[in-house]
Structure 1
Amino acid sequence: MRKRLARLANHRLATAALVSGGGAGALLLLRLVDPNQPGSLLPACPFFSITGLFCPGCGATRCLHALAHFDLSAALAMNPLLVVSLPALAILTAHGAGLLPAALLPLARQLCRPVAWGVLLASYGIARNLPWQPFSWLAPG
């Protein structure tokens, strides 16, 4: 039993290290590469390229680039849902790695509802394609 707990703890630490390393690498890439420039190394949204419609993730790369440069207003202009969701995503990541403080477990349980996330993302994807205000403010750019 003790070996199993030690393996689980090592697995959680390895997961946390992998997520942290990936996040640091992505942050460095977003600090160095500007997705707003023509011919950028970072790809455009394939959903938008095919359909001409904004998906819930459209503008996420430019949003994260703006956040990496501490430009909150530009980030909100690109993908406001992502900016607002980042604290929830951090809590879910810490929960998944087993590093979440016990005081935040009830909040994590509420955030771990896939149906709620699905409804939110589908609604957001529809709303940001509507051509009138205030919905047009949700479109990237």
Structure 2
Amino acid sequence: MHDVNADSHRVSDSGPATRSGAGAVLGRLAVPAGVLTVVVGAFAYVGAVDPNEPGHYPACPLLRYTGIYCPGCGGLRSAHAVVHGDFAAALQDNALAVVGYPLFAVVWTVWVVRTARGRPLRIDLSAAQLWAAGALLLAFTVVRNLPFGGWLHP
């Protein structure tokens, strides 16, 4: 005897129903586009509201209470300088942030390309690479707080 409902329980190889064509690509790109919108908006705000003027942004609590520059100290001033095309000042304010801006751009671009192709973004860093990144961050923080690291002070 043939069960007429047997076909309705069959699982499709293509997975759940998905949109196809340009609509699907645009739907997949919504999150990367949203992230870019937030980043551009943040840079536009920091470019318009000068962090060098007191009272616009809160002070770094670590710097305020200990006098120690954290890895992010000078980041807003650096972003402001980048928006205004003053890359020398940006490097002076926070060199690590200036390195991070193009790194973000590369990762975001890879994310968009992979997402448009329907593939997830995968950043597979080894333990050694993560330790190296942490060591770089720690070294930057320590050197900028030592007397000979004054050139890294914001």
| TM bucket normalised to smaller | 0.7 to 0.9
- Work out whether 1:139 is the aligned partner of 2:150: no
Match of 2:81 among 66, 70, 95: 66
Report the structure number with the largest CA radius of gyration: 2
Shift of the alpha carbon at 1:72? Answer: 0.9
Q: Aligned AA for 1:17?
A: A
Deviation, 1:136, is: 1.5
Letter in structure 2 aligned against 1:52:
G
Match in the other structure for 1:54: 69
Partner of 1:105: none
Structure 2: gaps (5+ residues) = 1-13, 115-122
Q: Which residue of 2 aligns with 1:84?
A: 99
Q: In 1, distance between residues paired with 2:40 and 2:97? A: 18
How many Å separate the matches in 2 of 1:50 and 1:80? 23
Aligned match of 1:103 = none
* CA distance in structure 2 between the partners assigned to 1:111 and 1:28 by the alignment: 35
In structure 2, how many angstroms separate the alpha carbons of the residues matched to 1:36 and 1:111? 39
1:76 and 1:12 map into 2 onto residues whose CA distance is 35
Paired with 1:109 and 1:6, the residues of 2 have a C-alpha distance of 29
Equivalent pairs, count = 131
- Please give the secondary structure, in 2, of the residue aligned with 1:99: helix
How much has 1:45 moved relative to structure 2?
1.5
What residue in structure 2 maps to residue 26 of structure 1? 42
What displacement does 1:80 show? 1.2
The amino acid of 1:24's aligned partner reads V
Partners of 1:56 and 1:121 within 8 A in 2: yes
Partner of 2:131: 115
Q: Secondary structure at the match of 1:53?
A: coil
Tell me by how many angstroms 1:31 deviates: 2.0
Deviations, residues 103-133 of structure 1 (Å, cap 9, x unaligned): xxxxx6569943222111111000100102x
Whether the 8 Å contact between 2:95 and 2:152 is mirrored in structure 1 is yes
Q: Matched residues, percent identical?
A: 38
CA distance 1:78–1:10, change in 2 (3 Å): same
Aligned to 1:104: none
1:44 is matched by which residue type in structure 2?
Answer: A
Q: Please say if residues 88 and 111 of structure 1, whose CA atoms lie closer than 8 Å, have aligned partners that are also in contact.
A: no
Cα RMSD, aligned residues only: 3.0
CA distance 1:47–1:10, change in 2 (3 Å) = farther
